[in-house]
Amino acid sequence: MQVAQVQSFFDPDTSTFTHVIYDKVGGHGAVVDPVLDFEQSGGRIAHEAADKVIDFVKAQSLTIDWILETHAHADHLSGAAYMQSRIGGRIAIGREIGRVQKVFKSLFNLEPDFDTQGQQFDHLFDDGEAFAIGELTAVAMHVPGHTPADMAYRIGDAVFVGDTLFPPDVGTARCDFPGGDARQLYRSVRQILSLPAETRLYMCHDYPPTERAVEAVNTVGAQRAHNIHIQDGVTEDEFVARRQARDATLSMPRLILPSIQVNIRAGHLPLAEANGTVYLKVPVNAL
């Protein structure tokens, strides 16, 4: 098994990990889940988080083949389009993204020609599709549950799990967004946890208790032994009951409204209005 090299970056504002995965210094790489900074009260976008990743890519002299989105995030704006404009790479997401685009095209009353078959992305991955990053071989895995379009990416000996598993003491991703399904998440997670015990799992998020540092990576073995929601022995029905009870207590993520509007456009902002200004909408009493 090829050993993928990984550098992880944590965005404390949204508790999101961005990962750079590459075969060797001077070789080829991919960026998973880049973040665009957004200061909601002033409506201001910035590129501090993305620029840290770009600086690393340049320092390692990497050719970026892919910018991989695990799903249409609801907690941060995607830095994919900005990153592509600086360091290239094809922006990709799962084939089922159209289902998410349809829901939110309707909610946000988007322009009639807004495409709901994922054409904003450079590539849509099918479940099980093989691809390459330089010398690393990779497989896209459809892991629905958090949303219908969630993907994980198995690259060399590492898996970028997206919003499925969180670190073992935090548990799993919520399943109460449109098209979410706790039963599907259980099956998706068990698929990831059927990989060899030493498989490295790279997290999309961490929400650590105050006494520990953020954890970018753990293993299949650690998750099977310790995950508070879905360790070995937890049945599908037990998981679903636990997940639904927890979801009933959660409020909407702080940045869900601006995030979705950008992320279903592959990280591009909506078109500017006649005065040249870009607007993000707030639907009232509609979500």
Which stretches of the chain bind Fe ion, using CB under 5 A? 73, 163
**Which single residue brings its beta carbon nearest to Fe ion?**
163
Which residue, 136 or 263, is less far from Fe ion as judged by CB? 263
Which residue, 28 or 73, is less far from Fe ion as judged by CB? 73
Q: Cβ contacts of residue 35 below 8 Å, gap of 6+?
A: 11, 14, 16, 18, 49, 50, 76, 77, 78, 79
Which residue, 73 or 200, is less far from Fe ion as judged by CB? 73
Residue 9: CB minimum distance to Fe ion, A? 17
DSSP string, 66-115: EEE-SS--SSSEE-HHHHHHHH--EEEEETTHHHHHHHHHHHTT--TT--
**What are the tokens at 273?**
């209005």
Residue 33: CB minimum distance to Fe ion, A? 9
Which residue, 65 or 150, is less far from Fe ion as judged by CB? 150
**What are the tokens at 175?**
């399943």
Which residue, 163 or 215, is less far from Fe ion as judged by CB? 163
Q: CA geometry: angle at 39 spanning 18 and 73, to 5°? A: 40
Residue 17: CB minimum distance to Fe ion, A? 12
Residues 157 and 2 sit within 8 Å (Cβ to Cβ): yes
Q: CA geometry: angle at 11 spanning 10 and 16, to 5°? A: 75
Determine the number of helices (DSSP H) and then strands (DSSP E) in the chain: 7, 15
Residue 19: CB minimum distance to Fe ion, A? 15
Residue 62: CB minimum distance to Fe ion, A? 26
Which residue, 22 or 166, is less far from Fe ion as judged by CB? 166
* Residue listed under structure tokens 């909506």: 270
Within the chain, residue ranges assigned H as helices are 48-59, 80-87, 97-107, 182-192, 220-226, 236-247, 256-263
In this structure, what DSSP letter does residue 217 have? E
Residue 71: CB minimum distance to Fe ion, A? 6
